[in-house]
Amino acid sequence: MMGGAVAIAKLLPVNLGEFKQELMKEYNLVNQMIFKVGVTEQKVSVFEDKVIIIAKHKRIPVLEIIDEADRNFSEVIDRLLIKRYKEVLAKNIARRFGIGVKLVLKDYDPRKEVSGTLIILDKNLNERGW
């Protein structure tokens, strides 16, 4: 049991910059898993127990086609995909960093291909000495 704790401790970021880099990797990984495409740009800001991620995404081609045919239906599909994305991201953050997630809010503008994600953690990251 002790060996597992040491292995996890070695995976945790040592500073805020490293945490942001690792979080961007996790965010992109979940994006690839759910949407089958990665993000093209990301910016991460951290404020105490809040993380804000602004990302540029390419629209999934099939959703562009659906959107042209029926915008309401594509919005429903977008909401379902985003809901699943938030669930997986929260679970992965907790598993990867050992930090609980209280809430994930996400919105995506398909016309601008930009998303905004707010993650509220159960711990203030400043308390880690970062």
5 belongs to a structural domain? no
Q: Are strands 114-121 and 39-47 parallel, antiparallel or unpaired?
A: unpaired
Residue 111: pLDDT above 50? yes
9 belongs to a structural domain? no
71 belongs to a structural domain? yes
Written as six digits, the tokens of 44 are 């991460």
Band of residue 55 on the pLDDT scale cut at 50, 70, 90: very high
Number of structural domains found in the chain = 1
What pLDDT digit, counting tens, does each position of 83-107 carry?
999 999 999 999 999 899 999 999 9
C-alpha of 122 from chain center: 16
What pLDDT digit, counting tens, does each position of 60-87 carry?
888 889 989 999 998 999 999 999 999 9
Task: Give the CATH number of the domain where residue 84 resides.
Answer: 3.30.980
96 belongs to a structural domain? yes
3 belongs to a structural domain? no
Q: Model's pTM, two decimal places?
A: 0.85
Range of the domain at 71: 15-128
